[in-house]
Amino acid sequence: MRKILTFLLLMNCFWAVAQHKCATTEKMQEALNHEDAYKASIADLTELQRQFEAGEIANNTRDDGSIYTIPVVVHVVYYDEVNNISMEQIHSQIDVLNRDFNLRNADQSEIPAVFSEAKASVGFNFVLADKDPNGSFTTGVTRTKTTVQDIGDTEFYYKSLAGGIDPWPQPHYLNVWVCDIGGLVLGYSFLPATEKSKRDGIVMAPRAFGTIGTAVSPYNLGRTMVHETGHYFGLQHLWGSESGDCNHTDYMSDTPNQFGPNNGCKNFPTYSCPNEATGDMFMNYMDYATDGCMYLFTERQASFMRLVINTSRVSLQHSTALTSVQEIEVENKAVLYPNPASDLVHLEFLNQISDQVSLIDVRGVLIKTWRPKSKLEAIDMSDLDTGVYFVKTSSETLRLVVQ
């Protein structure tokens, strides 16, 4: 009996350490290989990250310190009935997101003193959608019985005709698919871009979603979803897009360089790069530590996610997914086309004309301001350098790429 117990303990330890926590890098590469528009627009995100790291974009650019509400739809896609997870389990995950993204976690006291001052609240409030794409009441949860095993590791999870379920409009909902992925993967996400991937959203294994039900220790505290949501709002792993080199970057100046992922629960300090005096920030949500050893986002990570919610994911702010923001959508919706543009771009107000429009470059420098005269405004871009700009109306900020 003692030998059997020892074997089971060893197997449990192996399982905890061997989990491939996040497959974002691999799944991103698949999308880039097959979606040309997404591949082209990811270059804009990389440039935005580079400029942010270089200090060319102020922390408070286009940010008034508001709490941003994120509408969420959870698609439960299950092969076995046990993975048709309960509403209570779904709510437990939403609660963790709101706790950790707003620095209300009690275990932040475990952050080493050398990193404690870097911790920050992101200021995001996650809410299950109460209106579906047709404007009807919803719980913010869909349920689909599938005949495809490990559907999360296929191209089918986001296709209704192939055993999954189509995403709800991705500009206006954070789509989360909870389904079997297979292997040791716990979840993955897709980085934001001007042109969204057809897979845009987050995929989570039931064993790492929420804090009750199918969630299995040591990934039963909801932190894998916190990690993947960080990716959804533009964050890289702490070691950058590739491991095995201390010169790769995550574009965040307040996270130490790191050689690769830290699995399990390390002792502090742990060093993977000899030139980093503080050691690894393995307790950051963007590393691979087990749930009980992850405690923080940094100030720069929080600032960058807030930059993303005001640029490539700005439409989440004006979603019709939540009753509370219905009037904002009806009164203030505007669109830019064509985008990208090379000379002339049109700004169309679908409802109410804005009192004022401003054109701002990616550094936050105001180029010009004017009062629109009609619902369709033509903006001459021929004198501008190529790059990313922002057209700000009275109520929203639209991202524009000039070629």
In order of 157, 200, 213, the CA distances from 301 in angstroms are: 30, 21, 31
Structure tokens that stand for 8 in this block: 């089971």
Strand order in the sheet with 344-349: 334-337, 344-349, 376-380
Tell the residue number behind the tokens 């543009």, with chain if given. Answer: 341
Report yes or no: 260 and 237 within 8 Å, Cβ to Cβ. Answer: no
The residue count for the chain: 403
Q: What angle do CA 118, 52, 399 make, to 5 degrees?
A: 125
Ramachandran angles phi, psi of 158, nearest 5°: -100, 20
264 vs 96, 109, 138, 378, CA distance in Å? 20, 19, 38, 55
C-beta separation of 243 from 272 below 8 A: no
Question: Rounded CA gap, 236 and 284, in Å?
Answer: 12
Dihedral sign, CA of 149, 212, 232, 317?
A: positive
* 291's tokens: 């749930």
| DSSP code per residue over 32-51 | HHH-HHHHHHHHHHHHHHHH
Which helix (H) or strand (E) segment holds residue 202: the answer is strand 202-204
Cβ neighbours of 366 (radius 10 Å): 10
Contact of 32 with 373, CB cutoff 8 Å: no
> Does the annotation mark 228 as catalytic?
yes
Structure tokens at 180: 């079997």
Quote the CA–CA distance of 149 and 106 in Å, as a whole number.
Answer: 38
Instruction: Given the residues 35, 195, 228, 377, select the one marked as catalytic.
Output: 228
Distance, in Å, from the CA atom of 258 to the CA atom of 57, rounded to the nearest integer, reads 24
Residue type, 339: N
Which residues carry out catalysis? 228
